Amino acid sequence: MRATTAERARALEKGTVLLICLVAWLVPGAGHLWLRRVQKGLTFLVVLPLMFGVGLALQGRIFPFEPSQPLVALAALADLGIGLPYFIAWLLGYGAGSVVAVTYEYGNTFLIVAGLLNVLVVIDAYDVALGRK
């Protein structure tokens, strides 16, 4: 059965919204920039990677996915929330963490919260894309 023009338009819209969410996750603030919320997008683009970078500088750890340790796996999921900076840090070998460093726990907190804040930013971009905000 062929889709009507309206159905195709709706499907395209849905696809675009998903793409916006994906881009918003990968590059903090990019979803808002796409949706022409320039001031918000630029703020997220600066603040969130900076917070992640501070977490790395404080010798925080990018946690591995270890299903046998649920809290570590949850922390890993939160770290992943920041998107592209997570993969860049991983590729460059940052985020090994130093347990003996005074700032280790602070660094972890900055890394985890930066990821979780980006998840909130993605949800906000989703709402904006759907016209709820």
Note the residues at the interface with another protein (CB under 8 A).
39-40, 43-44, 47-48, 50-51, 54, 58, 102-103, 106, 109-110, 113-114, 117, 120-121, 124
Spatial contact of 44 and 34, defined as CB atoms under 8 Å apart: no
Max CA distance (Å), the chain: 64
Token duo for residue 4: 């009507």
Handedness of CA 54, 55, 59, 63 (dihedral sign): negative
Nearer to another protein, 33 or 121 (CB): 121
Nearer to another protein, 48 or 56 (CB): 48
Nearer to another protein, 73 or 119 (CB): 119
